Each structure stands twice: as C-alpha cells, then as structure tokens.
C-alpha cells in the first residue's frame, strides 16, 4: 500500500509540475520518457526476468504504430478503440515472434528476433501501397477528449497515467508467483520445468507482455504525431530499447524508469548534433555492460545498502525449529496397487543403450533404492520417469494414469518431484525463493489475479509462504532463508534442492545421488531426514552410491547394470545376490 501511495503521489507531482511548463520541447521530452518507459518495462520482463534476448522490438513498435494508423485512416475506427486493437495486434505479433524463438537460445534467439525486426522494417519501407513507404501514413486520428484532440500537456498526463498503471500491474505480477517463474527460466529451464513451471508457456507470456507494451508505445507515438513512416522503424530503435533496460538495470522494477529518464534526457541534450547520437548510445551500452552490469538500479541499490537504507525481506527469518509435519497432498481416490509402474522402458542414444526393457513397480510409503555401477543407466531411468527424456518404447503409469508423454511440468503437477545429480539451484535467488518456486504448481492464482493484485493472489502467496516456512524448518534451513542459495556450503545447497522438491508436495520423490559430495556426518543426517520424509507418507526412489546409506534406510533395492535390471528385493537379499557382486566387483558369478 505504501508503494501504491508513493507511486501515485510521485506521478501527481510530475503531472502538476508539467502543467507549469509552456515549452513544447520540454513537454514532448516528458512524453517520450513515458513512451520509452513503456517499451523498457515490457522488455525488462522479457530480458531482465525471463532472460530471453530480443533484438526485434522495433518490429513490435511498428506493429502498434501501423495498426492504429491503418485502423483510423482506412477503416475509420475510433482512436480509443484503435489504441486497444493495436495492443491486440502487437500481442499477436509477440506470439508470432515467440514460437520459432522457443526452439533456440542465446545468440541464436537474438538473431531470430533480429530477423523479425529486419523483415518488418523492410515491409513498411517497401510496402508503399499499404504502409506508405518512406512517405508514410498521414492524418492518423489522435486521442480526443469531448471530441477535442489532446493537447501536448494532456498527452503527457495520459502517458504518465499509462506508465503508472503499467508499473503497478507489472509489479503485482513480478513480485509473486509469475515473477519467480520468469526468473527460473533465466537461471535453469530444466530445473524450472521440474518444479512445475510451464517453460514454453511462460516464455510466450514474456514475449507477449513485451510486445503489448512496445506496441502501445508505438501506437501512442503515431497518434500523437498523427503521422508515421519507415524512418521511425529501424534497428537503432531495437538497440535503444535494449539499452534502456541494460543501462537502467536489467531485472529491477525501477531499471526501466531510471533508463528511460536518463537516456531520453541525454538524447535531448545531444539532439542538435545528430551525428553524435549513435556514438553516445553505443558508448553508453558498452559502459553499462562492462562498468555497470546491474545498471543504475544496481549502483543505487549498493549505495542504499551501504547507507543502511536497503529494504529488508518482508517475510523475515524464523527461528530454527522442527516442523511437526510437511505439507502433503493426499492420494487420489481410487488409486490402487503400485504408486508408479515403469513397464519395459527402452532408450538408446546411437549405439549406447542405457535402458533395456526396464520394469519397476514402486510401493507407496517405501524408500526404494536404485543402485548400480557408473554408467548403468540410473539417471537416464529417472529422466524418463520425469519426462526430461522420452523413452523409445515402454510406458510409465502413475496412480493408474499413463504419464509417458506428459510434459516435465505436467508430471510435477501429478505429484512427482525430483532432485538432480548435478545441483540445479537458482543460485541468485534466496533459499526461500527457491523453495517458493517448488510451490508454483500448488498455487491457484492465475495471470489476471496476479496482474491485478487481487485478494486471491495475496491469499495464495501467504499460504505458500506458510508452507515454505514449515519446509525450511523441517529441513533445518530456516536460518538461511534469506541468503542467496549459491552462497551456501555445498551440503546445504543439496538440502535446499531437496526442500524445493518437497515444496511441490509430492507423492513420489526421486533423488539422484543426494549424498554426492557430502561428508560422513552430512550423509548420516541426510539418511535421518529421508526417513522422516518417508514417515510423512512420501514415497522415495533414491539413486545412491553410498551403500551404507542405501542398506540402512531402504525398504526395497533395485539394481541396474548396463541398462538392464539384474536384481531387486530387500537390502539383505541384494547384498547376497551373486549377480550384484559380479556387477560391482567384476568377478564371475561362480567366484562371487
């Protein structure tokens, strides 16, 4: 509430101050700050939060500008309705640019979006019959109030209002479930899917948000100028929008504001020397990348922390305690027999076959261990159970429902959680935020409720936070809740990953070598923790090379060798099995 009051007060002060400005140039500069803030705010979601690099924002700017131009001049659509429809057109192009971009990452993604921007630029330049080419489109209807076109001061007021609304809406969205999901995409897409984030869906959503805000900005410029031509749409515009985010502070809610204010004012100061403008922007981009990797927001944030003005965590750390219970979900009615069945799973990578007709049945409430020599196919088997790898043949059934072709996040939604052989934490996020991401699939607030900050979204966030605090207490991590996950000792990072998996309230927990890299004391504590988790009603499948741990806590042991199941049974039976001894010791069955 304080942020809302402060934001409204700031905009009101700027609007009041603008009413005393008579110079048209200064008013237009204020208006362009608003326009570029809208571009940067959406780009910040795409780049700063979701980590998707785009160099095609000029094309999305053009989509909004030319949509409103054509609607008002050719089809005589009213200016207000045309503005709304232009946002819809931009959203469509956002989806269009997102779909092929989902198959590529990094520099390749940037090149795909760059190609889109170049295509749009050539289209509006060469398509003179539709888009006017270099001559452009004239007589675009401006926004009106009582039938009278906006004055420059009213454009400024309207722009300030849109910026306020955009900032508040995006703040609502990014400070909760959706913001954490976007950040998980930037950190590790595989881990994001494993905690229940629909990776491709959220990528598309980030592109659409960036497209709508950029298209809205383009429409505003076209309506304010009452004119648009191909000179407005060029590669420099895409670079400038990228610079707004990087210079202001990528991933910060205040970065777009700092970037747009600073760079538009600098641009206004050098406007009389047009030859120097590109040089200044290029120099600022290099300066931001090398000297201020976190932008102006990072510089000010560090300064505030040194002065003791930094914001404290609203959640607050809890004293260490043992939670009486983990938050869990109940087994669906009618589920009978084994919790999970894998039937004749096969997988080949060229000539390497890590899974040959592997069939396993996991009993509810047991700790199952999956053991075997290195290269036996254990991790491949878990990856097939969780959808990261598709089996060539065979089926996986969970609670009587086949999940063989389900997505990674879909399998998590059903109640299967996992950890990884190599740590996949979101290291720049706090321990609490990592574990909150585990609650993503259990939270019920959708996009609209989160965007508008409705009571349902606040209730879901509070409920998830309460569950996460219980999980942190259960796993002994409460005192580290606000520390960056990547700053903890390796053994604690392993425990954070386990806590994140528990936050999805799984019925089945798959652990891929959770004791790897732990010392004997940490390994013993892990064994005790796993037994406590089993006692909470969570079934566990454990891949592990620490035989003392396996034989101590397991109810049932499965042995793989060269991708085939060679034995299974109780720990005592497995220890005496000659095939297991041969696999581990390399001796013949007779000698074993």
Give the whole-angstrom CA distance, residue 510 versus residue 116.
Answer: 42
Q: Which among 509, 507, 526, 528 is positioned nearest to 518, based on CA atoms?
A: 526
Q: How many CB atoms lie within 10 A of CB 47?
A: 23
Question: Which residues have a Cβ under 8 Å from the Cβ of 480 and sit 6 or more positions away?
Answer: 431, 488, 492, 496
**Binned average pLDDT, 10 residues per bin, the chain of 592 residues:** 91 95 94 97 96 92 96 94 96 90 78 89 88 90 94 97 97 95 94 94 95 97 95 90 93 93 90 76 81 85 74 48 72 65 92 91 93 90 94 93 93 94 93 96 94 95 95 94 94 95 95 91 93 94 91 93 91 88 67 50
330-415+506-592 CATH pick, 3.30.230.10, 3.20.20.70, 3.40.50.10860, 3.40.50.300: 3.40.50.300
Give the whole-angstrom CA distance, residue 388 versus residue 410.
Answer: 11
DSSP for 218-256, please give it.
Answer: HHHHHHHHTEE-GGG-SHHHHHHHHHHHHHH-TT-TTHH
Residue 296 CA neighbour count, 13 Å, CB half = 18
269-276 contact pairs (CB < 8 A, 24+)? none
DSSP for 287-300, please give it.
Answer: HHHHT-TTHHHHHH
* Domain boundaries, given as residue ranges, for the chain: 2-246, 330-415+506-592, 428-502
- SS3 state at 212: helix
DSSP for 53-112, please give it.
Answer: --S-HHHHHHHHHHHHHHHHHTS---HHHHHHHHHHHHHHHHHHHHHHHTT--HHHHHHH
SS3 content of the chain, % helix, strand, coil (to 5): 60, 10, 30
Give the whole-angstrom CA distance, residue 42 versus residue 162.
Answer: 13
Q: How many CB atoms lie within 10 A of CB 449?
A: 19
Question: Which residues have a Cβ under 8 Å from the Cβ of 195 and sit 6 or more positions away?
Answer: 184, 412, 417, 437, 438, 440, 441, 500, 501, 503, 504
Give the whole-angstrom CA distance, residue 175 versus residue 433.
Answer: 11
- SS3 state at 309: coil
Give the whole-angstrom CA distance, residue 432 versus residue 485.
Answer: 9
Alpha-carbon torsion angle 552, 553, 557, 562, nearest 10: -80
- SS3 state at 559: strand
Q: How many CB atoms lie within 10 A of CB 35?
A: 25
- Which residues in 225-246 are b (16+ Cβ under 10 Å) and which e? bbbbbbebbbeebbbbbbbbbb
Residues facing residue 558 across a β-bridge: 370, 568
Give the whole-angstrom CA distance, residue 68 versus residue 86.
Answer: 6
Give the whole-angstrom CA distance, residue 368 versus residue 373.
Answer: 17
Q: What is the Cα gyration radius of the chain? A: 28
Q: What pTM did the predictor assign? A: 0.92
Pair type for strands 539-543 and 367-371: parallel
Q: What's the chain's length in residues? A: 592
Can you say how many angstroms the Cα of residue 40 is from the centroid of all Cα atoms in its chain?
18
Give the whole-angstrom CA distance, residue 240 versus residue 57.
Answer: 10
Phi, psi of 368 (to 5 degrees): -100, 140
- SS3 state at 473: helix
Give the whole-angstrom CA distance, residue 305 versus residue 394.
Answer: 56
As given in the structure block, the two tokens for residue 278 are 């590109």
Question: Which residues have a Cβ under 8 Å from the Cβ of 483 and sit 6 or more positions away?
Answer: 430, 431
- SS3 state at 368: strand
Pair type for strands 556-561 and 564-569: antiparallel
Q: What is the 3-state secondary structure (H, E, C) of 415-456?
A: CEEECCCCCCCCCCCEHHHHHHHHCHHHCCCCHHHHHHCCHH
As given in the structure block, the two tokens for residue 76 are 């005589």
State the pLDDT at residue 316: 46
Report the CATH fold assignment for 2-246: ABC transporter involved in vitamin B12 uptake, BtuC (1.10.3470)
- SS3 state at 519: coil
């Amino acid at each position: 509430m304080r942020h809302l009051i402060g934001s409204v007060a700031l905009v009101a002060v700027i609007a009041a101050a603008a009413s005393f400005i008579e110079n048209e140039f200064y008013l237009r500069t204020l208006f362009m700050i608003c326009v570029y803030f809208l571009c940067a705010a959406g780009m910040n979601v795409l780049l700063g939060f979701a980590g998707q690099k785009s160099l095609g924002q000029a094309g999305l700017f053009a989509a909004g500008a030319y949509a409103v131009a054509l609607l008002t001049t050719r089809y005589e659509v009213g200016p207000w309705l045309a503005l709304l429809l232009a946002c819809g057109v931009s959203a469509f192009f956002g989806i269009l640019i997102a779909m092929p971009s989902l198959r590529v990452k990094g520099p390749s993604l940037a090149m795909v979006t760059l190609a889109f921007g170049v295509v749009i630029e050539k289209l509006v330049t060469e398509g003179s019959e539709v888009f006017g080419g270099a001559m452009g489109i004239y007589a675009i209807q401006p926004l009106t109030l009582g039938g009278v076109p906006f004055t420059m001061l009213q454009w400024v007021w309207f722009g300030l209002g849109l910026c306020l609304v955009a900032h508040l809406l995006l703040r609502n969205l990014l400070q909760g479930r959706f913001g954490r999901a976007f950040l998980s995409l930037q950190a590790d897409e595989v881990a994001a899917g494993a905690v229940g984030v629909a990776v491709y869906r959220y990528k598309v959503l980030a592109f659409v948000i960036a497209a709508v805000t950029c298209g809205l900005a383009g429409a505003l410029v076209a309506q304010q100028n009452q004119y648009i031509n191909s000179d407005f749409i060029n590669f420099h515009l895409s670079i400038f929008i990228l610079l707004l985010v990087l210079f202001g502070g990528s991933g910060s809610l205040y970065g777009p504001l700092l970037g747009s204010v600073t760079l538009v004012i600098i641009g206004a100061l050098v406007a009389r020397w047009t030859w120097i403008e590109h040089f200044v922007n290029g120099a600022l981009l290099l300066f931001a990348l090398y000297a201020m990797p976190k932008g102006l927001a990072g510089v000010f944030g560090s300064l505030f922390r040194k002065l003791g003005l930094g914001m404290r965590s609203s959640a607050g750390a809890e004293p260490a305690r043992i939670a009486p219970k983990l938050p869990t979900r109940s087994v669906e009615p009618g589920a009978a027999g084994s919790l999970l069945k894998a039937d004749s799973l096969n997988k080949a990578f060229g000539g390497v076959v890590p899974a040959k007709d592997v069939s396993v049945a996991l009993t509810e409430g047991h700790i199952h261990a999956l053991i075997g020599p290195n290269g036996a196919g254990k991790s491949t088997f878990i990856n097939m159970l969780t959808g990261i790898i598709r089996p060539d043949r065979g089926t996986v059934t969970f609670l009587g429902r086949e999940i063989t072709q389900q997505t990674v996040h879909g399998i998590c939604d059903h109640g299967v959680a996992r950890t990884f052989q190599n740590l996949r934490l979101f290291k720049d996020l706090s321990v609490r935020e990592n574990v909150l991401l585990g609650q993503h699939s259990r939270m019920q607030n959708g996009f609209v409720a989160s965007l508008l900050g409705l009571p349902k979204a606040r209730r879901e966030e509070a409920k998830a936070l309460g569950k996460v605090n219980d999980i942190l207490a259960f796993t002994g991590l409460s005192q580290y809740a606000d520390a960056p996950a990547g700053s903890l000792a390796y053994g604690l990072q392993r425990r954070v990953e386990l806590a994140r998996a528990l936050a999805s309230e799984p019925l089945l927990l798959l652990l891929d070598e959770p004791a790897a890299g732990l010392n004997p004391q940490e390994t013993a504590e892990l064994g005790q923790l796993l037994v406590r988790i089993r006692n909470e009603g969570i079934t566990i499948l454990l891949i592990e090379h620490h035989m003392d741990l396996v034989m101590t806590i397991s109810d049932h042991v499965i042995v793989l060798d060269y991708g085939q199941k060679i034995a299974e049974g109780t720990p005592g039976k497995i220890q005496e099995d000659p095939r297991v001894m041969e696999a581990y010791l390399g001796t013949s069955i007779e000698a074993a």
